[in-house]
Structure 1
């Protein structure tokens, strides 16, 4: 039985008549989780011998079977200069909202595995030499070091975090993947087996702001002239409409020549022609917001946007001297444009104020309120019309937003909305309901609260 069928039952048992955004599930993947691969982290004091961190999830898609997901890591350790030995991968996982654990699964079948292995991920590569600029696999040494590039990276032309900073991805109807990159910013197309299919696609400067005909960051390997976008502010969000015909690529920061510093651009890309349509939509960033974390379609014209500040830590915890203030999910409608050209924007979830009457949030809940206070929250996916899956990017090993001085885990949470979304059925991602809890609720009523409290 899936959440879309049972979500109507549980609120009758547990919640009061007053509607509120509520936590309905939480599962955790420990920060110190690794997968096989070449030694990583050699460009800063911590290194991981013969392994790769399973970390920094910046995007999520449905997995090969219900309840499983494919999660994409970003460029690794935060900068182009320190991530040349971090491999770009998509992992397959199963968050178990009954036990609160997250398990690796087979990337193709979704069957649960005992550990992360080569069966559990898709490795991005360019063995067909499609990328039209130098990549790390072509080098003898990692940049600005005397450390030899791993022979496996070289022979397989595996992509690394110094080649692209991938922050978003979508799967087209033919099974191929499209990735949004921050370095270029670029869109690039990858086969179901991980091979880059074409040269990365640059973004034209459709608004004509400044002299550069393209939108380019300082990290763009093909930078021609002056960068007009700050570093790490390229494509953070990438949505695929419910028709499967258009991608919507959203920049994290405003263009440098733009005097409207709160204006973020969403660019429409046609999959049939594999070209931008020239349509650009404006998103107005909140005065407290500093960046966006994701862009996800609800239907052909409505989308969810994660917007956040650059702070971390639970405001209820006095040990955080500069806690999080602004972590929110908005709904936007590109068919509704105001007089200044901005898309309609409506608050859906305040991630610092989520009701948790059943105490599912463990150390994230204080006085019945769960907070998601991480510096980067970069994944949202509709489960059904009233439930969202939300995940943080733990920036391993740097972010410490849950417990002071302790590297953040990767947290998967389910949030029940107080108002249903106009969700196209193609955008729903049902997850199995925790049957032990559902069964206990039906059989024993409020006795299930004891079991729920243990699930932290």
Structure 2
């Protein structure tokens, strides 16, 4: 049942915002967003592994216990969000159709998206199959339909390092091989941004890997602690491998230029510099948007900085609107609503949210030849915690007159037409419970009317 009162965040925001307002804290322009439809894929939605896949992929999440020991049977390890049970348990019978992390609208009305690496880390996801999905929305019925799924594979051994299923014929890829997070369909397949390297990966229309590209920024390699060749030193007196990106800081977002010739790969976290500080724009941490030439399969050497706003900690997705402007999801690491916040965030209880969501936004940015090498211009934003819903179109979430997205990770946004965008969450099955205290989040997709925002200069 919907709450009868606005959440504190939504009420405060919507009281100030009529059509367009300016935040006193950051002097950033806010634009309205109105809910037009919502489609939901239930959290416990599964898909079978391919018939020719090894038994290892028939179930997933077998290594998610804290000690990483193999679970004794299906459903024996409770899913938890901090100390709150989410109502689902691992291992799962099949592969979860979840973790949607990146979306692209197609001309035929369908969308391509992808499931990320599985269960949150390289160590616990060796039995999570990597997949791309073609989906479509029945907005009237509020449902998500899976049209097609491509299971990623490396049958021609284009991946230069050993994979989990190295000794098999088809060599399906798993969540300990790559953490796939962003997607762009192209004429001969798909380009995928991932986070372990981080790498750019090209697969053909069957999901077979053809290229794995290392990341370079200003002539320097960018590497995370999960880079495949890294190992701990043999004794404590030796130095650890050098890396300049935090774990889960790779290509969470990736846009394609409107002429189709370039990719713009956006890091989720800032690069670390030689002195231990992070890359900044002014006083704010800044994330690199790195340009990639599709035909040449190489980095162009050009990049931009995306400055995080006050309270922003990561990005979720990135797609272009036109030749010089795009949409970026920016978020904090909170989940849940402030009305159910724990009295003591350092001592969270099962009946409250330790760190409620505050900053969940979509920014419109401008990047062009004029600001290459410098920060993008943030034109304005919409607040995903205060979406207008005057006609009560939300099927779940929000309250009287509004809809909200209090999820820790919101990782899907693209333009539908000159007035509408689609937005969706990554539900981190079965570990995220931001909509309710004790229930694993569903995959929620919404159609938003944001005409003024898309037209903003």
TM-score by length of 1: 0.77
User: 3-state SS of the aligned residue for 1:404?
Assistant: coil
1:71 Cα shift? 1.9
Query: Are the equivalent residues in 2 in contact too, given 1:336–1:344 (CA < 8 A)?
Result: no
Query: Which of the residues 176, 187, 192 maps onto 2:205?
Result: 192
**What residue number does 2:348 align with?**
none
Name 2:48's counterpart in structure 1: 36
The match for 1:412 is: 445
Distance 1:387 1:322, change over 3 A: same
Q: 2:235: which partner in 1?
A: none
Deviations 1:407-443 (Å, cap 9, x if unpaired)? 00000101111515259xxxxxxxxxxxxxxxxxxxx
Q: 1:229 to 1:53 in 2, by over 3 A?
A: same
Which residue number corresponds to residue 105 of structure 2? 62
Does the CA-based 8 Å contact 2:302-2:372 persist in structure 1? Answer: no
Matched position secondary structure for 1:125: coil
Partner of 2:173: 159
Matched, 1:123 2:166: no
Which is further off, 402-411 or 297-306?
Answer: 297-306
Q: 1:386: how far off?
A: 1.2
Does the aligned pair in 2 maintain the 1:217–1:223 contact within 8 Å?
no
CA contact (8 A) 1:373 1:401 kept: yes
SS of equivalent to 1:155: coil
Would the alpha carbon gap of residues 315 and 370 (structure 1) be closer, same or farther in structure 2, given more than 3 Å must change? Answer: farther
1:215 is aligned to 2:227: no
Q: 1:404 to 1:336 in 2, by over 3 A?
A: farther
Cα distance in 2 for partners of 1:169, 1:409 equals: 21
In 1, the alpha carbon distance for the partners of 2:182 and 2:230 equals: 22
- The structure whose RCO (Cα within 8 Å, separation 6+) is larger is 2
Counterparts in 2 of 1:131-170, with a 5 A limit?
131-138=159-166, 154-170=168-184
Deviation (angstroms), 1:94: 2.3
Structure 2: how far apart are the matches of 1:220 and 1:50?
30
Structure 1, 235-244 or 255-264: larger mean CA deviation: 255-264
Kindly report which structure 2 residues correspond to 1:159-308, keeping only aligned pairs within 5 A, or say none. 159-172=173-186, 174-198=187-211, 200-206=212-218, 213-223=220-230, 225-257=241-273, 258-261=277-280, 262-308=285-331
- What is the match of residue 374 of structure 2? 341
| TM-score (ref. length: structure 2) | 0.77
- Measured after TM superposition, the shift of residue 314 of structure 1 is 2.6
> Do the aligned partners of 2:382 and 2:453 also contact (CA within 8 Å) in 1?
no
Q: Secondary structure at the match of 1:421?
A: helix
- Greater share of residues in strand: 2
Query: Would you say the 8 A contact 1:41–1:86 is kept in 2?
Result: yes
Q: Distance in 2 between matches of 1:288 and 1:36?
A: 40
Structure 1 315/175 Cα, relative in aligned 2: closer, same or farther at 3 Å? farther
Instruction: Work out whether residues 119 and 428 of structure 2, in 8 Å CA contact, stay in contact via their aligned partners in 1.
Output: yes
- Please, what is the CA RMSD of the aligned residues? 2.2
8 Å CA contact retained: 2:279, 2:287: no
Q: Tell me how far 1:103 sits from its aligned partner.
A: 2.1
Residues of 2 paired with 1:284 and 1:48: CA distance? 39
Counterpart of 1:360 in structure 2 is: 393
- Secondary structure of 1:305's match? strand
- Deviation at 1:302? 1.0
Q: Which runs of 5+ in 1 are unaligned?
A: 1-16, 108-120, 140-153, 424-456
How many residues align? The count is 371
- Which residue does the alignment assign to 2:134? 92
Report the CA distance between 1:320 and its aligned residue: 3.5
